[in-house]
Amino acid sequence: MPGYHVIIQPEAEQDLDEAYQYLDGQRTGLGFELLADLTEIIELTSS
């Protein structure tokens, strides 16, 4: 079964950057955890 092709729009990239900055301000490394989890989800749905 083929996976999906994921496209992240520029607006979503900006939202992710803002979420990263906010979360990392709450706790160092939390923004990275968000991106790592999102990357894992994208890889799972794309494969």
- Looking at residue 47, what is its pLDDT? 78
Query: 30 CB contacts (<8 Å, ≥6 apart)?
Result: 23, 24
Query: How much is the pLDDT for 18?
Result: 98
Q: Output the six-digit token pair for 24.
A: 């990392």
Domain boundaries, the chain: 10-46
CA distances from 2 to 6, 8, 29, 45, 46 (A): 12, 19, 33, 9, 8
Per-residue pLDDT of 1-47, as tens digits, reads 577 888 999 999 999 999 999 999 999 999 999 999 999 999 988 87
